[in-house]
Amino acid sequence: MSIRHSQMLQRLFMVLLVVLLIPGCAKLPSRPDLPFEPALSSANDGPLAELSVRFQKKEGTDTSGFRLLINARKALEARLALVDLATRSIDLQYFIWQGDASGTLLFDRLLQAADRGVKVRIIVDDIGLASSTRNLSALNSHPNLEIRIFNPNPSRDYTLGGALNFLASFKELNRRMHNKLMIVDNHIAIAGGRNIGNEYFGLGTKYNFIDIDVLAVGAVLGESSHAFDDYWNNTAVYPVNAWGVLLPENTYEEMRQTITEILADYTSRLSSYPLQPANWQHWLVELERELDIGEAHLLQDDPVQIDGRDYRLVDMIAYLSDPAEHEFILSTPYLIPVGDFLKVVQQKVAQGLRVRILTNSLSSTNHTLVNSHYNKYRLPILETGAELQEFRHQPSVSLRAQADVKPVEAPFVSLHAKVLVSDRRRCFIGSLNFDPRALVINSENGLLIESPALAEKLADFLEEMMEPENGWNLVLKGDNSIEWQSGDTILTGQPSRGFFQSMADFFGRFLPVESQL
């Protein structure tokens, strides 16, 4: 190679390096100095207000009512119903909002609600938000819609630049908002494990989730609304209009037309859902009839550290809930013990508490890498005396019907429910996994509920997932080996979906990423 060619290549390399690094060195625009914006007061009229008033007159102003949302179709229908019935305000907070069939359908309904005068506020974590800043800016121009982004990457619109920025600012950008909350007219809320995406609502083509949300009405709405406001007004949450120097890639009208066209493309997949606002009178009657009565608190992590300390939701659960005396059930899709978890479990079992843990098997997990690092904790968990169950990726027909929505039948089903049940009288339903990312890094939220009726239903469903046709019972043998037992089937190695998943699981254990899982 000639000297001249070498110099040309060096210059070309430097130009490419500059082009690639510029986005990675970007900075966020200055966040506007916004006044504190509280939620709108509760709606005075409309079906949701009427239901709420009737509930409080019957049960009292210090009580709340709850309805489990386990079935995937009913979980999305509940959200669509609330949006269609809203008259004053809708607040939504999610870790992931996908631009797929379910995400587009829900967003289209929100735009229709905004068109009729409902104030819509949306907080989405930047990691789970695929839309470009320019498109978000165009949508945000609607007078009744405002979108804010949690902890945005300054180079969020550039794949490589975003990755470089993430690495350069790892400590700041590594904390993500895993919270999930929906509040409508300040009368009804939904909290739990579901993000907004096809696999959460029975429409996934790779897999579908068994997940659990809870709908709440009554006294807990005050706490829920204040919790949302804590994030909405935090400096870690950036309003889309902070990027005001950017001209929208499309006008609002063009974006709305695009959404309409995308929704039309998903018509066949969404055949089980109403594509336009519907009459939800029957749904309202059924909801009011099925409410379980109790008391609740909305618990959440602080958006950012306070005085250098991070106040964790898991500590609040332990503080606000009485210790279990007879039975404690934990369901978590991702299980990697941290701190003194194993020691505490061993102590509780020694005191006579029955501890039952349900998590994914290798075959049912949607994150093989998590299983790679959970693998070594199976033996220590069983040595505590706790019962350990793993979900089957091909469960019974009745359980699969909770996860799949026609016309979709996913290749496998994965557990995504994040719940605790204590003595079948108290439960926690929220976003909290039992892994380092949830317990140490991300922010989480959920409802701590005192309701024997609800807790009993939840425990019964978890037991159904542990039955032989749905789960593997892990048994510790005398030689410290583990067997996976399901009815008459006994395995001496973990079940998987095939050779390549097993290989990925094997090599994944060597990656030093456990603290980030």
Per-residue DSSP letter, 211: -
Q: What is the pLDDT of residues 224-239, one digit of tens each?
A: 999 999 999 999 999 9
Q: pLDDT at position 19, please?
A: 43
Query: Residue 29: how many CB atoms within 10 A of its CB?
Result: 16
Under the banding of pLDDT at 50, 70 and 90, the label for residue 322 is: low
Q: pLDDT at position 424, please?
A: 95
Cα 377 to chain centroid distance, Å, stands at: 24
**Is 206 in a helix, a strand, or coil?**
coil
Q: pLDDT at position 248, please?
A: 65
Round the CA-based radius of gyration of the chain to a whole number and report it. Answer: 24
Q: pLDDT at position 155, please?
A: 73
d(C-alpha 333, C-alpha 464), whole Å: 16
d(C-alpha 300, C-alpha 24), whole Å: 32
Q: pLDDT at position 243, please?
A: 81
Average pLDDT over residues 382-395: 97
Farthest-apart Cα atoms in the chain, separation: 89
Nearest to 289 by CA among 456, 453, 60, 55: 55
- HSE of 390 in the Cβ direction (CA atoms, 13 Å)? 28
Residue 154 pLDDT greater than 90, yes or no = no
Pairing of strands 188-192, 208-210: unpaired
d(C-alpha 141, C-alpha 129), whole Å: 18
- In 277-317, the DSSP E strands lie at 292-300
Please determine whether the domains at 24-287 and 302-516 fall in the same fold group of CATH.
Answer: yes
Under the banding of pLDDT at 50, 70 and 90, the label for residue 222 is: very high
* More confident of the two residues 132 and 430: 430
Per-residue DSSP letter, 196: B
Contact 78, 69 (CB under 8 A): yes
Contact 252, 115 (CB under 8 A): no
Domain residue spans in the chain? 24-287, 302-516
Under the banding of pLDDT at 50, 70 and 90, the label for residue 17 is: very low
**Which residues have C-beta within 8 Å of that of residue 340, sequence separation ≥ 6?**
none
Reported pTM: 0.93
Domain 302-516 has CATH 3.40.50.450: no
Q: pLDDT at position 161, please?
A: 67
Q: What is the pLDDT of residues 416-465, one digit of tens each?
A: 999 999 999 999 999 999 999 998 999 999 999 999 999 999 999 999 99
Residue 318 pLDDT greater than 60, yes or no = yes
Overall size of the chain counted in residues? 517
**Which residues have C-beta within 8 Å of that of residue 285, sequence separation ≥ 6?**
none
Sign of the dihedral defined by the CA atoms of residues 482, 483, 485, 491, in that order: positive
Cα 352 to chain centroid distance, Å, stands at: 33
d(C-alpha 233, C-alpha 477), whole Å: 54
Q: pLDDT at position 315, please?
A: 75
Nearest to 386 by CA among 318, 323, 328, 468: 328
Please give the class, per CATH, of domain 24-287: alpha beta
Sign of the dihedral defined by the CA atoms of residues 186, 191, 197, 201, in that order: negative
Residue 34 pLDDT greater than 70, yes or no = yes
- β-pair partners for 125: 150
Report whether the peptide linkage leading into residue 303 is cis, meaning its omega lies within 30 degrees of zero: no
Q: What is the pLDDT of residues 420-429, one digit of tens each?
A: 999 999 999 9
Q: Quickly tell me which residue has 């009993």 as its tokens.
A: 456
d(C-alpha 253, C-alpha 375), whole Å: 51
Residue 265 pLDDT greater than 50, yes or no = yes
Q: pLDDT at position 98, please?
A: 95
